[in-house]
Structure 1
Amino acid sequence: MRPFLSGLLLLGSAIVASAETLPLPQSLIALNSAEGGRMLLSSEANADYFDLGIHFTNQVHPAFCGPATIAMVLNALEVERPKSDMTLGLGLFDQENVFTPETEAVKPRAVLERSGLTLDELAGMFGAHSVQAKVHHAEDSSLDAFRSAATASIEDDVSFVLVNYLRAGIGQERGGHISPLGAYDAETDRFLILDVSRYKYPPVWVEAATLFDAMNTPDSDNDNRSRGYLLVSR
């Protein structure tokens, strides 16, 4: 166990507890619950929780789950960081400076603010920052393949796994959403979603099969191709 695990867990719990979140279905386990905390402490794969947790950011626009996730992952990958007024000149990525002329060619910000990002567009945004993002549409994958790839990515020190899923598919309110995964608990076969809209939901543990089914849903903005997951690395 990493020596600062309990401190980060407490920090995460404090942030969640201070927000007015929506009720969770019984099928999900909040990270800041007693059970959710124990699962993180005992999980075999949790390295990405720490790497992403210190860069956690809450989305600042209803359609910015993608940009918020991109900023977190670019910072965790230690991509060369630009100056920014939002981060007080500290040279971190945020939900303003992730937009560049190169990302505008993938999807203009004005359009993104109306419709969000599809899985392939999310990969293109990472590519615009010279970062590799391998697309896995759920319809072309399987639960076993997803579980294996995601767990390996969570535990390695070179990549991160991002999921694009239908909230209604895991019992939450409504549409599509993007967030990174932080941990996997083999005993319960659950992944920890580090939800970037903390004002709606806390980080939650969701059964792998339920999450995969929520990814294996059509994205109407992408010719009905399914949602899925990305493996992102330098």
Structure 2
Amino acid sequence: MKIISFKAMLLAACLSLPCGAAIGRTLPLPAGLVSLGSEQGAHLLLDSEARQAYWPLSLQFVTQKTQTYCGVATIVMVLNALEVPAPTAPGIEPFTAFDQDNFFNERTDAILLRPVLAKIGMTLDQIGGLLGAYSVKADVRHAGDGGLDEFRTLAVRYLGTPGRYVIVNYLRRTIGQESGGHISPLAAYDADTDRFLILDVSRYKYPPVWVKAADLYAAMNTPDSDNENRTRGYVLVTAGD
């Protein structure tokens, strides 16, 4: 038992390795959510059936640089995990990697202007458009157009397949967090508890958490006033041709 607990702690510690904003005391988690950093959360990862996405995403984990950059941080993680050719970044030449500054270019500006992003963040459809600006395949699914079973089936399939990723756009208050719309990648699924692992990119606010599939779907199935009141949802991501 001690050996398993040690291995579980090592798995959970993966998220503390990537460079990001300094992490202090996070907000308390509501009942029903399980922190990855807890013993229960780490064991869920060990026991999860679909976790292919966890490893590459954990190696690329970043904290969003502002409170409206959850979508940017999430997309940067996915692009780096997919090994999409990246531009240079100051201080690391001749090496290249996406960060929350060099991600932007003329193609992304045509989809979402930076001043708008800085004020209100991005919508589900804009996530798909911004990924497409880098020739990445993005299948945008509004929760209101499908159902829980469809979401669970597709998300589990992607999380269990190398080179595939799932981004979720959900309303925090629906799962008891504070408080508005948020974007982060999924990393794993545990069938015994029917929970998905959200790698929350606002690490200064909440840790990565395990959430019931039905609760996450309910949080996605909420209208977004910044997107013509269409429901939030998820994006299935694979590398382009």
Describe the shift of the 1:113–1:54 C-alpha distance in structure 2 as closer, same or farther (beyond 3 A): same
Question: Contact (CA 8 Å) 2:23, 2:203: kept in 1 or not?
Answer: no
- The list of structure 1 runs, each at least 4 consecutive aligned residues, that deviate by more than 6 angstroms after superposition, is 14-17
| 1:47 partnered with 2:49 | no
Matched, 1:10 2:28: no
Aligned in 2, Cα 1:217/1:79: closer, same or farther, shift over 3 Å? same
Name 2:164's counterpart in structure 1.
159
Structure 2 equivalent of residue 122 of structure 1: 127
1:139 alignment counterpart: 144
Q: What amino acid is the match of 1:9?
A: A
Q: 1:211 aligns with which of 213, 216, 223?
A: 216
Picking from 61, 66, 73, the partner of 1:61 is: 66
Tell me by how many angstroms 1:110 deviates. Answer: 1.1
Q: Are the counterparts in 2 of residues 150 and 161 from structure 1 also a CA contact under 8 Å?
A: yes
Query: Structure 1 pair 96/114, CA: closer, same or farther in 2 (3 Å)?
Result: same
1:200 alignment counterpart: 205
Maintained 8 Å contact 2:64/2:73: yes
1:113 to 103, 106, 118: 118
Q: Number of matched residues?
A: 231
Partner of 1:148: 153
Greater CA deviation, 80-89 or 90-99? 80-89
Q: Which runs of 5+ in 1 are unaligned?
A: none
**Is residue 92 of structure 1 aligned with residue 97 of structure 2?**
yes
Match for residue 77 of structure 1? 82
Work out whether residues 86 and 94 of structure 1, in 8 Å CA contact, stay in contact via their aligned partners in 2.
Answer: no
Distance apart, 1:159 and its partner CA: 1.3
Contact 1:13 1:31 in 2 (8 A): no
CA distance in 2 between partners of 1:209 and 1:169 (Å): 11
> Using a 3 Å threshold, how does the CA distance of structure 1 residues 135 and 190 change in structure 2: closer, same or farther?
same
CA contact 2:65–2:100 (8 Å) conserved in 1: yes
Checking the alignment, whether the CA contact within 8 Å between 1:163 and 1:229 is kept in structure 2 is yes
- Kept in 1, the 8 Å contact 2:15–2:61? The answer is no
Shift, 1:20, TM fit: 1.4
Instruction: Give the aligned partner of residue 3 of structure 2.
Output: none
* Native 8 Å contact 1:12 1:32 kept in 2: no
Alignment of 1:167-186 (within 5 A): 167-186=172-191
